[in-house]
Every structure is written in structure tokens, then in C-alpha cells.
A and B are shown apart, each in its own frame.
Chain A
Amino acid sequence: MSLKRYILKRILYSFALLFFALTLNFVIFRMAPGNPIQVVASGMRLEPEMVERLIELWGLQEPMHVQYIRYLKSTLTWDFGYSYNSLEPVGREIGERLFNTLLLMGVSLFFAIILGTVFGIYAAYRRGSLFDLTSVTISLFSYALPTFWMGLLMIYIGGYVFGLFPLAGTMSRPPPLDPIVRIFDVAWHLFLPGLTLFLFQYGAWLLMMRSTLLETLHEDYITTARAKGVTERGVLFKHAFRNAMLPLVTNIALQIPGLLNGAILTETVFSWRGLGLYTWNAIQFTDYPVLQAVFYIFALVTVACNLIVDIVYGYIDPRIQY
């Protein structure tokens, strides 16, 4: 099988998976308990004609297969309908929040990967040293702590006791007018939530890098390289690290969808207006259009990341059979 055919096969497989996720997304919410009319009425008593009007507005009167086709069409065209709660277009609401989530996730993930990998390599290289022991202990500790608790601790110490960082939000209120100052202002607000999410991921990256590298360092080809007289630096980076990168790449791709979920708590605690918080509110208020849209995006990101990993593996791992 050629690489091209392999990629095509993976793409088709991803589309099938996405279609299955979309269908499941539709069925689950139709089976769930609760009534969207009740959500909108929020305790008010609505006359029958009003209920009919709302049913018509959301197309709930149509047969299930018609609703399904309409759902598929609207989802694929990025038209998620209106939120039951805010009655605003869901696509617009998601768009407003996406940047904040990507910023928070991106920054924390970037530093977690860089620092986790670097310290993981060093800890593996200096296995058994004080640095290794300290790194592993700290990593286990930060990885084990609940995100929301760590977030509250950060707010209390960094924001309230020392007053070094803001207690909430993504910017000063009102924000500075100068664009440069504004960038620094956002970075200042990003520090505590970013640090919380960083600590949550950093430990996992360090431990994974360390264990993968330790495993690689015991491979025969490493012994061979050493026997050939390759320097320790060369052994570490040219032989061991390159081979240890495969699970790292897999993990990066798989962590992104997981991070969307992890951001829910961090965003809630720090009043960081992103997709995580949006999802949390939608769950609380049985806002089906929002949940459908968010879950669709989660599914899309997961499938896309898997596809990318598959394709990248095709290039970097010679063991892959087409």
C-alpha cells in the first residue's frame, strides 16, 4: 500500500468516525430527560399557543428523520441554531469564546511540553539524582492535585494575600487603551490560570518523557551507539530522544481534546470566558443546541488530531505498514 492510499484510507475512516459521532450526538440528546420548552419557560406558565410557537421555532414538531437531516445539514454548515438559554446563535457564541480557550490551552500546553520534556530528559539522564527525585515528586504532586483546588489556592495566594495577580477575568476592567500595554495586561491575567493548567499537565509530560527515555536508554542500539564511541550528548539527543518522540507526538494529539475538557474547571474558577465554561453552563441549563455543537467540536478535534497523528506516523515511523 502506498503512503497516498494509506492517507486516503485514514481520511475515509475519520469521516466515518465523525459521522458516527454526529449521529450519536443527535440520538443522545433526543433520549435525554427534560423538556426544552420548560427550560425556556423557566418556571413561567406558557399558554398552549406559545408552546406551539416555540416548538415550531425549533422545528421540534417535525418527524425525527427530518430533524436528523436538518441537523446534519446545519452542523456541517457550522449553523448550530439558537441556544435555548440565551436564544442567541450558538455559532456566534462559540466563536466569541474559542480564542480565549485556545490562548489558555495553547500557552499552558506549550510550556508544559517544552519544560516537561526538557526536565524529563534531564531527570532520565540523571536518574537517581536529587534532581530526578525532586522532579518526580513535584510532578506527581502537581499531577495529582485537583485543578479547581489548585486554581482556588492560586487565586487566594497570588491574588488576595499578595495581590500580585488579578482575581478574575481575561483583562483589566476597563482595559488599557494602548495595544502594547493591553497585550501585557492579558498576559498578566493569563498567568494564574495558565500556571494552574501548566502544573496540571507539566507533571504528566515530565513523567512520560522520563519513563519513555529511560526505556529507550536501555535499548540495544543505545549500547551499540555508546560502544561506537558516540558522546553521551549524541546518544541522548540523536538516538534516544528521537526514538522517544513517537509517544510524545501521539500524546500531543490526544491531549488537545482532553485539554478542552480540563479547561472547564480552570475557566470556571478563574472566570476565564472560554468554551469550557460555556459547556459547563450549557450542561447546567440543559441547553441542547449548545451541547450538541460543543460535543461536535470535541469530536471533530479528536478525530482530526487522530488523523494528523496517523499521517505523521506514516512519515516518521518506518515500522508503519501501508
Chain B
Amino acid sequence: MNPKRILKNALLIALLIISILPSIPVMAEEETVNLEGPWADELFFKIYLSPEPEYLALKTGEINLMDWELPAEKVADALTDPNVITDSTPDLGYYQIDLNHQRWPTSDLHFRRALAHLVDKPRIETDVLQGFGYALDSVVPVVMGGWSNPDIMTYEYSSELAAAELDLGGFVDTDADGIRNDPVTGENMAPVIFYIRLDDPERKQAGEWLAAGLKALGVPIEGELAVERSVCSAAVMNSAAGEWNVYTGGWNIGRDPDHLTDLYHSKEFDPEMVGAWRGFNYDGFMNSTFDYWADILKSASTFEDTKEAAFMCQEIMAEQVAVIPLYGHIGVKAYRTEWTGLVNHIGTGINSWWSTYNMHPVDQPYGGRIEYGIKSDIETLNPLTAAWAYTWEVLDKIYESPYTYNPYDLSDDWGWLAESWEIEDWTSPTGVDGIKVTFNFVEDAVWHDGTLFTAEDLKFTYEYIVEYGVPRYLPSVQFIEELVLVDDYTLEVYQNTTSYFAFHYINGVPVLPKHIWEDVGAGWQDYDPVAEGTLIGLGPWKFVDYVAGEYVHLVANEAYWKFPDRFFQGLSMAEIQQAKALSMLRAQLSAATTATEEQAETISELSSQFNDFQASTLELIESGVENIGNLADNIGSLDTEIASLNSDISGLESQTSKLEAGLSSASNLGYASIGIAIIVGVVAIFMSRRET
């Protein structure tokens, strides 16, 4: 590859990453979610049926938030717009090289490993995805957090290692004609059949590089020209004889890794199906050890056991090269700087449910109208027939599911309408092992028409879906065996499967108001809640108006059980705002009054203390003055006394000096007497000795 091109691309990606990093909003960095909401007054969906006008509408301020992922050239523009903030998140999905395990030579492990060594993922990341995607080694992308196994076998990009694997498998050019020979027939290898999707430039490029790499190693290729999606699906997924070897596929997935079983279990492949859908495991990956763990994945009842099974499935898939995981996408979305509090939900982005629930204008703690641009029309607002993702952008604001989950950790379920639940093992009367889920619902949830919600509503919803066979929700209720209403706020759901995910399946329904839908009965498919005025849910937003192809208008549900400041429930939004303003004023006044009273008391106390102090001080001063007078008199008499004493002292001093003089002369006389006495004594002693 051209070094200049590598350098250019590296610089572009670096610039993009550097540019995006500072734009990540504080909310996303802190990963915090406010469980109370909504904070805005209104939610207004504006429908743009193509991306260009929607993006221009964001730039002009006609909308505050858009659902559309920005392509590279728009990201660069958005980053230079001071009124627009961008944020990115990985998609919940992956792209892969599918390999036909039912057809030679991709049925050979060494050949598959050789292919895995020929996929240049770093180059795909830099040259193809250009910062809008990341390479994958597992079909459980890292965005799925704890479910993704980081320790699986990986295949370094190396044509030498690929050639070695081919040699190991017996695919050797024995006749030196530049084409490797088939180890079974000994003849030149038959061409490997590629199906590369034309409609996706990224997959097209990855597939073409792989084909070129293989061809360079002496493996003949056929059909490497890209083909259209429907041709691929007909040839790859419905092919009678499986006339393909390599296909550039891709899947959207949910928050659970149960797609490992759904897409790669051998029971999901039907080799007998001719010219029709051969099953989700159209690769024909048949591995009994994998099946064993895939079955556990779907039947284990604890998180730990399920995770172990998911990890084992990924290990086996990597070792056996069931498919070659390529990359996951990273989507960049944008919103206006005038808003804050948005939540960058993993797999969804900043236009998440939590964003509309949490966001508010930067300059005020609540209120305002969210103008949300969506890139598709709303096909229907009937929750039982709506299948289109953009329709659910609206409906999931109106309807609630039993519980929710952490937007920053998709495996972390959160209590919501069902504030808590217990999951226990259960065995059906027919002896089938399953789980019993006991939902404990909040007691203050109210339908938008004021009717109180009870557990009976959810029970009705499950029963309604089963009775009328509503296709969209049948997967959610497929394992429900029995429903027992314990009381108005407790429902037991008995499922005839032990799967850890079964708890998630039953959450996939919108809770319907029984008092409305029981009258609809079998006519659910033609039912139009908008025309009937019965678009009634439990959600944080209430339906106001819808004009097809133009807009949907919702308003904050002030009776929502998580609506901020319950004191204001039952009032209109305008009244709530007035009441809130009044309340704030009252609080300020009260605080000011209390402060004044406290200050007055203090002042009074201080004043009294001051008065006491002043009085005592005056007394002290008065007594002090009197004392001073007395003292002055005393000082005067004392002065006199001192003077007399001084004269006495001087008299005494003269007497003393006289006495001292007398004493001195007396002492001199004494000394002289003592001297004479000593001399007399000595003379006497001397004379006496002489006498003896």
C-alpha cells in the first residue's frame, strides 16, 4: 500500500478522533442518569424524509436533536459548528465474513483459518471505516460488555501464516502451475465462490481485499464481483445446493448474546430446504460441542452459567472459524448546544429514550420544547402493528414496559413500572422445568386518561397477544405457560423455559390499558388509536397531535410516577410552572423572614446584653469615680502620712546614724577592750606558766 495514503488516512483518523474527543458532553463522561423525568415540557418530533434537510435543520436551530448518524463529511462540518455538539457510540451489531461449512473447501478448517489470516482488520479500520468502526474478533462485540469473551483465539493478518495453513490442509501447488491443488482430487482447485455485497461499500472493500489475498496465494476465485442484496440473499440464504463459499454478511443484535444460539446452532440450518429460507444458520455451521454450549446458553437460569456458555460458544466459534468477525460500526450523532442532560445510551447514542427524559435547556433546570428530527415517517401509532424503528421512537415515549435497564450497562436491569421482581425455578404440571417471575409493581402509576394502573393490565396484555396472535410480540410471550394475578400490584408469570433471557423476553411488550383494548378485541390490526382518541399509555410523554409525514406532538405527563416534584401532580404544565415559581418565591420569602426573625432575636439578645453591660459599666464607672475621689483623698492623707513618715524616717535615719556612730565607737571600744583583755589574758597565761 502507498505509504503516503497510509499517512494521509492516519492523519485524518487522528484529526477526527482529536476533534470528537473534546465534543463529548459532560453527561456522557459522567455516565449519570436522572431517574426522575421528564424535565422538558414538550417533545415535538419533526419528520424529515431525507438526511440533508434534517442536518440543515439542526444547524439552523429548527431542531435540537437528530436521530440520523452523521457521515464523515457531516461530522467534519458539525465539529466546526459552534452551535452543534457531537457524540459517538458503537452500534449493537456486527459485520462478518460468512463461510459455507457445507461446501468444499470452506468446509475445511485449515482453509477457513487461512482465510481468517488473510483478513487485514487494521487496514479495514484505517482505510475503510476511517474512525467510524472498530475491528472485532468475536461475534459478541465489546459493546455488549461482560458477555464478550476477550480471551478467544485470534488470527494475525499474515499471508505467510495463511499460506502455511493452506499447506497444512494439503492445498499445495504440486504441479507448480501457480494454482494450488485440491488435496482430495489432486487436480487444480475449483474456484472459490464469493458473494460480495454491492450495496455496502465497506463490506464490498473488505470482501474484495480478501478475494485478492486468496488469489495471490494461488487459490482461484469466482464471482468476486459485487452483487446486490436481494441476489445475495437468494443465492446465499435460499440456495438449493449452497452454491457459495464466502459472503459478506452482517447482523443487528439485541442486548443479549442469545444470537449465538439463534444464528449458529445446527438446528437453525435446514439442508433439505430447497430454494427457500434455509434458516438463520445459513453458513451451515454444525458443531456438536458448540450446540451443547449454545443449548446451555438458552437454558441456563443464572447469569454466571449463561455467561460461561456464551464464552464457550465464542471460543469454539473462534477455534473453528465459524465465521470471520470483521468490525462493528461507531455512529456519530449531534444535538444543539442550548440543551444539556443528554444520555449517550450504548448502542443507540444521544438520541436515546433517556435523553428526552433527562434533557433540559442549559439556562433553566426544566421546561422547554425538545424539537427532535427523525428521518422517517410514522407508519402507524398502533402499538400492536408498529414495527418500524422510527415509529417506536414515538411509541416508546408513550407506552411503558415492565422494567428497564442501565443505558451504560446493557446487562444491568432496573426496576421501573415493576419496581422489583423475584425469579424462581418452577416445574410445570407436565414436568417441564421453567422459571416463575413475580413482578411487584409501583402503586402510583396512572394511565394518561387518569385510570389507575394495576397488574391486571399487564396480564391482559400478555393474554391479548396470545389470543389474537399479534406477530410482532409472539416471540415475547412464546414461553408463557400461566399468569397468576396475586393482587392488584403483583403478577406471577410462569414460563416453560429456564433460560436466563426468558426474563428479558417478557419485557418486550408495551403494557396496554385493559379498559381500552378489551373493546378492540379481534380488530387490533385495523385499530387506529389516534382516530379513536385512545392513544393512552403509562409513559412519561402524553400524545397530543400527529400529522402524517409532518410531526408528532407529545407533552410531559405530569401524572407520571417519576415526574419530578410530586407536589405538583394534577396541575397543568402552565400551572405547575406558576406554582413552582410561586413556591420558589415563598421559600425565599420564608427563608428571608426566618432569617430576619432570627436576626431580630439575636439583636434583641445582644441589645439586652449591651444594656446590661452598659448599666454595669456605668455602675462600675460611677463607683470607680467615687473610688477615685476617695482614693484621691486617701492619696492626700497618705501623702501627708508619707511626709510625716518620711520625716519620721529621716529622724529615725539621723538617730540611726547617731546610733550607728555610737555603735561604731562602742564597737571600736569593744574591740579595744577585747584586745586589751586578750593581751591581759596572754600576759596572765604567760606569767602563770613562768610561775609553774
At the interface, yes or no: B28 with Cβ under 8 Å from chain A?
A: no
* B57, B380, B550: the one within 8 Å of A170 (CB): B550
At the interface, yes or no: B525 with Cβ under 8 Å from chain A?
A: yes
Q: What are 6 residue pairs bridging A and B, where the CB atoms are less than 8 Å apart in the complex? A: A35-B277, A45-B268, A86-B391, A88-B385, A160-B59, A174-B553
At the interface, yes or no: A61 with Cβ under 8 Å from chain B?
A: no
Q: Which among A46-54, A232-240, A255-263 touches the partner chain? A: A46-54
The answer on a CB contact under 8 Å between B548 and A273 is yes
The answer on a CB contact under 8 Å between A173 and B550 is yes
The answer on a CB contact under 8 Å between B475 and A47 is yes
Query: Could you tell me the distance between the alpha carbons of A37 and B279 in the complex, rounded to whole angstroms?
Result: 12
The answer on a CB contact under 8 Å between A85 and B276 is no
Tell me which residues across on chain B come within 8 A of A42, comparing CB atoms: 387
Tell me which residues across on chain B come within 8 A of A47, comparing CB atoms: 474-475, 478
Report the minimum CB–CB distance from B300 to chain A (whole Å). Answer: 18
Q: Which among A16-24, A135-143, A151-159, A223-231 touches the partner chain? A: A151-159
Known: A82-B525, A155-B53. A271 touches B47 (CB 8 A): yes
Chain B 237-265 interface residues, beta-carbon cutoff 8 Å to A = 238, 251-252, 262
The answer on a CB contact under 8 Å between A271 and B474 is no
At the interface, yes or no: A38 with Cβ under 8 Å from chain B?
A: yes
The answer on a CB contact under 8 Å between B50 and A271 is yes
At the interface, yes or no: B127 with Cβ under 8 Å from chain A?
A: no
Q: Which among A63-71, A161-169, A196-204 touches the partner chain? A: A161-169
Report the minimum CB–CB distance from A159 to chain B (whole Å). Answer: 7
At the interface, yes or no: B60 with Cβ under 8 Å from chain A?
A: yes
Tell me which residues across on chain A come within 8 A of B547, comparing CB atoms: 171, 173-175
Tell me which residues across on chain B come within 8 A of A219, comparing CB atoms: none
At the interface, yes or no: B471 with Cβ under 8 Å from chain A?
A: yes
Known: A53-B471, A96-B548. A168 touches B252 (CB 8 A): no
The answer on a CB contact under 8 Å between A87 and B53 is no
The answer on a CB contact under 8 Å between B56 and A160 is yes
Tell me which residues across on chain A come within 8 A of B548, comparing CB atoms: 96, 273
- List the B residue with the shortest CB-CB distance to A82: B525
Query: Could you tell me the distance between the alpha carbons of A98 and B182 in the complex, rounded to whole angstroms?
Result: 61
Query: Could you tell me the distance between the alpha carbons of A20 and B280 in the complex, rounded to whole angstroms?
Result: 38
At the interface, yes or no: A293 with Cβ under 8 Å from chain B?
A: no
Chain B 103-161 interface residues, beta-carbon cutoff 8 Å to A = none
At the interface, yes or no: B185 with Cβ under 8 Å from chain A?
A: no
The answer on a CB contact under 8 Å between A168 and B49 is yes
Report the minimum CB–CB distance from A21 to chain B (whole Å). Answer: 23
Query: Could you tell me the distance between the alpha carbons of A47 and B551 in the complex, rounded to whole angstroms?
Result: 36
Report the minimum CB–CB distance from B512 to chain A (whole Å). Answer: 16
The answer on a CB contact under 8 Å between A273 and B230 is no
At the interface, yes or no: A318 with Cβ under 8 Å from chain B?
A: no
Known: A33-B233, A167-B57, A173-B550. A273 touches B44 (CB 8 A): no
**A53-B474, A168-B49 known, 10 other contacts, Cβ within 8 Å:** A34-B233, A34-B234, A35-B276, A45-B268, A87-B525, A169-B48, A269-B52, A269-B53, A273-B377, A286-B230
Query: Could you tell me the distance between the alpha carbons of A46 and B469 in the complex, rounded to whole angstroms?
Result: 12
Query: Could you tell me the distance between the alpha carbons of A156 and B55 in the complex, rounded to whole angstroms?
Result: 11
At the interface, yes or no: B388 with Cβ under 8 Å from chain A?
A: yes
Which residues of B are in contact with A by a Cβ distance under 8 Å? Answer: 44, 46-50, 52-54, 56-57, 59-60, 62, 230-231, 233-234, 238, 251-252, 262, 268, 276-277, 280, 377, 379-380, 382, 385-388, 391, 469, 471, 474-475, 478, 525-526, 545, 547-551, 553
Tell me which residues across on chain B come within 8 A of A86, comparing CB atoms: 379-380, 385-388, 391
Tell me which residues across on chain B come within 8 A of A82, comparing CB atoms: 525
Query: Could you tell me the distance between the alpha carbons of A270 and B49 in the complex, rounded to whole angstroms?
Result: 7
- List the A residue with the shortest CB-CB distance to B375: A271
- List the A residue with the shortest CB-CB distance to B277: A35
- List the B residue with the shortest CB-CB distance to A152: B52
Report the minimum CB–CB distance from A299 to chain B (whole Å). Answer: 23
Tell me which residues across on chain B come within 8 A of A179, comparing CB atoms: none
Chain A 105-160 interface residues, beta-carbon cutoff 8 Å to B = 152, 155-156, 159-160
The answer on a CB contact under 8 Å between B230 and A271 is no
Report the minimum CB–CB distance from A298 to chain B (whole Å). Answer: 21
Digit string of A60-99 for contact with B (CB within 8 Å is 1, else 0)?
0000000000000000000000110111110001001100
* B268, B382, B550: the one within 8 Å of A169 (CB): B550
Query: Could you tell me the distance between the alpha carbons of A173 and B471 in the complex, rounded to whole angstroms?
Result: 34
The answer on a CB contact under 8 Å between B56 and A155 is yes
Report the minimum CB–CB distance from A222 to chain B (whole Å). Answer: 49
- List the B residue with the shortest CB-CB distance to A277: B49
Query: Could you tell me the distance between the alpha carbons of A46 and B262 in the complex, rounded to whole angstroms?
Result: 10
Query: Could you tell me the distance between the alpha carbons of A93 and B469 in the complex, rounded to whole angstroms?
Result: 23
The answer on a CB contact under 8 Å between A34 and B252 is no
Query: Could you tell me the distance between the alpha carbons of A33 and B233 in the complex, rounded to whole angstroms?
Result: 8
At the interface, yes or no: A243 with Cβ under 8 Å from chain B?
A: no
Query: Could you tell me the distance between the alpha carbons of A273 and B551 in the complex, rounded to whole angstroms?
Result: 12
Tell me which residues across on chain B come within 8 A of A34, comparing CB atoms: 230, 233-234
At the interface, yes or no: A1 with Cβ under 8 Å from chain B?
A: no
Query: Could you tell me the distance between the alpha carbons of A33 and B382 in the complex, rounded to whole angstroms?
Result: 30
Tell me which residues across on chain B come within 8 A of A100, comparing CB atoms: 549
Tell me which residues across on chain B come within 8 A of A214, comparing CB atoms: none
Known: A173-B551, A174-B553, A268-B49. A87 touches B387 (CB 8 A): yes
Known: A155-B53, A159-B53. A50 touches B48 (CB 8 A): no
Tell me which residues across on chain A come within 8 A of B388, comparing CB atoms: 85-86
Tell me which residues across on chain B come within 8 A of A96, comparing CB atoms: 548
Query: Could you tell me the distance between the alpha carbons of A156 and B50 in the complex, rounded to whole angstroms?
Result: 13
The answer on a CB contact under 8 Å between B234 and A50 is no
Query: Could you tell me the distance between the alpha carbons of A40 and B525 in the complex, rounded to whole angstroms?
Result: 14
The answer on a CB contact under 8 Å between B44 and A173 is yes
| Residue from B50, B56, B234 with most neighbouring chain A CB atoms (10 Å) | B50
The answer on a CB contact under 8 Å between A45 and B474 is no
* A37, A45, A88, A152: the one within 8 Å of B379 (CB): A88
- List the A residue with the shortest CB-CB distance to B232: A33
Tell me which residues across on chain B come within 8 A of A43, comparing CB atoms: 251-252
Tell me which residues across on chain A come within 8 A of B47, comparing CB atoms: 168-169, 271, 273
Known: A35-B277, A50-B471, A86-B380. A155 touches B46 (CB 8 A): no
Tell me which residues across on chain B come within 8 A of A268, comparing CB atoms: 49-50
- List the A residue with the shortest CB-CB distance to B234: A33
Tell me which residues across on chain B come within 8 A of A93, comparing CB atoms: 379
- List the B residue with the shortest CB-CB distance to A273: B549
At the interface, yes or no: A44 with Cβ under 8 Å from chain B?
A: yes
Known: A174-B553, A175-B547. A33 touches B62 (CB 8 A): no
The answer on a CB contact under 8 Å between B380 and A163 is no
Query: Could you tell me the distance between the alpha carbons of A37 and B550 in the complex, rounded to whole angstroms?
Result: 30
The answer on a CB contact under 8 Å between A168 and B53 is yes
Query: Could you tell me the distance between the alpha carbons of A269 and B46 in the complex, rounded to whole angstroms?
Result: 15
The answer on a CB contact under 8 Å between A167 and B56 is yes
Query: Could you tell me the distance between the alpha carbons of A43 and B545 in the complex, rounded to whole angstroms?
Result: 32
The answer on a CB contact under 8 Å between A155 and B233 is no
Query: Could you tell me the distance between the alpha carbons of A277 and B377 in the complex, rounded to whole angstroms?
Result: 10
Query: Could you tell me the distance between the alpha carbons of A97 and B49 in the complex, rounded to whole angstroms?
Result: 14
Query: Could you tell me the distance between the alpha carbons of A34 and B238 in the complex, rounded to whole angstroms?
Result: 9
- List the A residue with the shortest CB-CB distance to B479: A47
Known: A42-B387, A155-B53, A173-B44. A163 touches B60 (CB 8 A): yes
Report the minimum CB–CB distance from A10 to chain B (whole Å). Answer: 38
Query: Could you tell me the distance between the alpha carbons of A148 and B233 in the complex, rounded to whole angstroms?
Result: 29
| Residue from B231, B268, B551, B553 with most neighbouring chain A CB atoms (10 Å) | B551
The answer on a CB contact under 8 Å between B471 and A170 is no
Report the minimum CB–CB distance from B335 to chain A (whole Å). Answer: 17
The answer on a CB contact under 8 Å between A37 and B385 is no
The answer on a CB contact under 8 Å between B230 and A33 is yes
The answer on a CB contact under 8 Å between B526 and A271 is no
The answer on a CB contact under 8 Å between A33 and B238 is yes
Query: Could you tell me the distance between the alpha carbons of A85 and B390 in the complex, rounded to whole angstroms?
Result: 12
Query: Could you tell me the distance between the alpha carbons of A57 and B469 in the complex, rounded to whole angstroms?
Result: 10
The answer on a CB contact under 8 Å between A169 and B234 is no
Report the minimum CB–CB distance from B347 to chain A (whole Å). Answer: 14
The answer on a CB contact under 8 Å between B475 and A45 is yes
Query: Could you tell me the distance between the alpha carbons of A89 and B528 in the complex, rounded to whole angstroms?
Result: 11
- List the B residue with the shortest CB-CB distance to A47: B478
